[in-house]
Amino acid sequence: TSQRFYYAFEGRNIRKPTVEYTEEEYSAIFTTNFESCYHLCQLCQPLLHKADGASLVNISSVAAVTPIRSGTLYSATKVCFN
């Protein structure tokens, strides 16, 4: 059997106080960091179902589990996958 590894990385962040994010910034960060990964998982599901022993691994960020001054919205989008 052969093993294939594919990866995709995408992230968007705007570092600023939580109360200063605009609706557009909120939407852009969540769309890039969460929704894109979520939809990629949806697209991969039929292929994973057909493959014997296949897995899809999502790697988020340390920002999901500890405050690193990266911005609350960035952290929130990363914790979605933990």
Q: Which of 7, 21, 38, 74 is catalytic?
A: 74
Compute the distance between CA of residue 6 and CA of residue 26 in angstroms, rounded to an integer: 28
Compute the distance between CA of residue 12 and CA of residue 9 in angstroms, rounded to an integer: 10
Q: Is 38 a catalytic residue?
A: no
Q: What are the φ/ψ torsions at residue 33 (nearest 5 degrees)?
A: -85, -35
Compute the distance between CA of residue 11 and CA of residue 29 in angstroms, rounded to an integer: 8
Known catalytic residues are: 74
